[in-house]
Structure formats: structure tokens, C-alpha cells
Structure 1
């Protein structure tokens, strides 16, 4: 279970472009891009994360805030293996990102206190895609339940 505090981190990480001479790379952040960029721009950036990392990034989470709703999209890299091929780097064909989960969070200001409504239940992030290895004893997927997503929404609206 993630703590409420974990949603408040507004730091970023830079991923240098592999195989793209002269290009700086991508820098993910959780502070303002989801408000200042369009959803189409965020999706372009998501695709760049996969390609510019030479497909080492396996999961991207987009958060789009438009003032009335928060849209969360979980994108994963789809890597099918050719039938009969051994699993090597050369036998894998990158098919591009696949939208695995969409969650919409809305705010209801007609209630006292203000309430938040989450569609689609918990946000689950695959341990294997995040850490690029199988999970060990006591390890598992990261799950953010409805209550944690409501707390996240409350924090987002508190910043507006």
C-alpha cells in the first residue's frame, strides 16, 4: 500500500535518448505537465519514453488534469514473442504501447465535505514492468486503491 505522502513528490527523472545522437532525452515529472499539456501531447511523450529508452521503459502512467476531472492512463509496452523463437533480444518485436487501464476521477462540490469519485477501481502497476524482474518473496504489484486515488485527487485540487 502506498502512503498519501508518496503522491506529493514533484521531482523528476531524466532518461537520456539511446541511439538518438544530439537529443537530450525525456524528463518525466509529476508537477505541471498534465495540466499545461494536451492529452495528445502527453501521449506523444509517452511514446517517446518507450522508444527513446530503447524499450527499457516498460510502463508509463499519464495524468491529465483539466480543472474538472483527472484522467489517469496506464500504458505498457507490448512485446510479443514470435512462435518457436527463443526469448532473446533479437526474437522480440516491439509492437508499441498498449493502453491497459483508464481511470477518471471527478470532484463533487455539492457534498459537504467535497467528495471525489473514482471510476474503474484500483490502479495496479506491475512489479515486473516497474523493476524488470520477477517478484521475490514478499514482493508484489503496486496497487493504489480507490481511497488513495481520492486522496491524490484531493491533493491535486488543493494545488489549484
Structure 2
């Protein structure tokens, strides 16, 4: 059977590395992403593609929710996609880039799905309570491509995504809201995901929420990213040109820290409630009875409490 190696395993001996199956090689590099207020080692499994069956075997024994696959040509990617659909495998293509021949795979276990789904479901429930559910399209994990002509170029699948109707209702339309979660995926790699969504959508994505679970230290980090332009457009500049100058900006950073020393266990939220701006979500000003989406501190505490039941 094929084997995998985590990127944080650089300190293992050469003898140990040589025991891996020759059909799948693995790279080892140290990864130390820094989150807001904490630091931890993230073990990201990496494997070299040889054939579909070996890859599926690797996915079966990958311990986390994230796998990096190298040496994946466009034709190999098309084969992986066909076999995934044929065998009804549930893993997702976080991102594929044909130029680097790198495929990032999400392996959606219970923890991973609750990290993003717990927030997205709270958002859609709030829409339903205010009678706005018919004005929102849940795109969920649908694939979005950087260019036509699949399987070349770049494409990705979000964890939870959606956008307003009718503006983002047509098939293939980009969402305004993207939520990406990671447990074994590093915060640095999640930042790459965020940048991909903004740039590849030609800035049609308006909010990217990153959710990073850190078992060490008992912290869930939420980062809400938006974009802003460096200044007003210069005279004569086109709208498209000005949009291309937009840069990601971290609007909110929230840490939810588990405290096992209390009885019962408590969850401490720093930096307040999570807020999604109405204008960015719906691409218009709010009308009567409409406003920003807010996930309060008590709701964030309840969310974190449930996340820890998924371990």
C-alpha cells in the first residue's frame, strides 16, 4: 500500500523515510503557521501521484482533513475526478493548479464539516428567521474554475459558499461568501485559499471566512477577510483596472479558547461577535428590517462547545 509523510516530519531519520513504498513518495518540510495569539505545529500530509488506486489508498489512511498531491498533470486530474465520481468518494478538490501540477484535497470528516457548517448554518437560519431565505442561493461545495476548458488551468471547491439571488443565481456564478475550514491544514495554506478565491473570481467573492482548529492549545481561530483598494481610482482608470488593485484585508480575528480547568469546561471568546456586512453579502443596501449578519459571543461559545464534541 502507498504511504504518506507529514510535512512536519523533517526530523525523522533517512532510514525511516526509506521504508515508504516506492510507488508513492512523500516530501517533508517544517510548517509552523502562526495564528492570532497562538502557534502550533501543523502536520500536512503530502504524496506524489502515481496512479488513482494508490492515491485513494493514501486518502483512506490520511489522519487529517487535508492532503497535498504533487505531480498531477491535467489528464491525471481528469482521471482522478472521473474515478472519484464513479466510486462516489466524498473527498473534495480544495484547489487544483495545472501549472504547478498540485492538487489539494479536503477529506471531510465530522470535525471539518462542523467547523464551517456550524457557522454557515447559523447564517442561513438567520436568513430564514427574517424571511430572506428565498433571496439567497447556497452554492455549498460546487466547483468554480479560473478559466474555461476544464481540466486545465485552476479550479477549487469551497467548504460552504453562497450568494444573493438573482445576482449570483446563474449556474457557475461566483459566491459572495466563502467559508473555508482547516484542522490539519495550516493557517498559511488557508491564507492561500483566501487569496485564490478573491483573485480567481476577479474580486466577485466579497467575504472569505477562515476557520482554523488548533487542538494544541484548545483554540478555534476565525479570520474574516475582505478586500479594499489602495485609494480612489485615478482619473481615466477603468473599473476593471481599479478592481485588480484590490488587496485582502483582515477585518476580524476572533479566538475561541477552551478552558478545561473550569467546571464545566468554558469557552472564552476574544474580539467580540462575528459580523458579515449586508452590503457585501447581497450587493445592495439593506432595506427595512434588513441588516448585517451577527453571530453573538454566546452563540460562538455554543459553536465551540459543539466542535469539541466532534473529536
Classify the TM-score, shorter chain: 0.7 to 0.9
TM-score normalised by length of structure 2: 0.45
Aligned length: 157
Matched, 1:66 2:196: no
How far 1:111 sits from its partner (Å)? 1.3
Q: Is the contact made by 1:58 and 1:129 (CA closer than 8 Å) also made in structure 2? A: yes
List structure 1 segments (4+ residues) > 6 angstroms apart after TM superposition: none
Q: Using the alignment, how far apart are the partners of 1:148 and 1:87 within structure 2?
A: 43
Matched, 1:104 2:255: yes
Q: Using the alignment, how far apart are the partners of 1:145 and 1:96 within structure 2?
A: 28
Matched, 1:18 2:146: yes
Q: Using the alignment, how far apart are the partners of 2:191 and 2:246 within structure 1?
A: 16
Aligned to 1:95: 246
Q: Using the alignment, how far apart are the partners of 1:32 and 1:134 within structure 2?
A: 26
Question: CA 1:23–1:102 in 2, change beyond 3 Å: closer, same or farther?
Answer: same
Question: CA 1:34–1:51 in 2, change beyond 3 Å: closer, same or farther?
Answer: same
CA RMSD, 1 decimal: 3.0
In the alignment, structure 2 segments of 5+ residues that lack a partner are: 1-117, 125-138, 161-178
TM-score normalised by length of structure 1: 0.83
In the alignment, structure 1 segments of 5+ residues that lack a partner are: none
What are the within-5 Å matches in structure 2 for residues 3-152 of structure 1?
6-7=121-122, 12-19=140-147, 22-23=152-153, 25-29=155-159, 33-67=181-215, 68-79=218-229, 80-82=231-233, 88-152=239-303
Question: CA 1:85–1:116 in 2, change beyond 3 Å: closer, same or farther?
Answer: farther
Question: Which structure's CA Rg is the greater one?
Answer: 2
Q: Using the alignment, how far apart are the partners of 2:289 and 2:200 within structure 1?
A: 33
Question: CA 1:26–1:131 in 2, change beyond 3 Å: closer, same or farther?
Answer: farther
Question: CA 1:153–1:87 in 2, change beyond 3 Å: closer, same or farther?
Answer: farther
Aligned to 2:28: none
Q: Is the contact made by 1:71 and 1:105 (CA closer than 8 Å) also made in structure 2? A: yes
Q: Is the contact made by 2:180 and 2:209 (CA closer than 8 Å) also made in structure 1? A: no
Q: Using the alignment, how far apart are the partners of 2:197 and 2:237 within structure 1?
A: 26
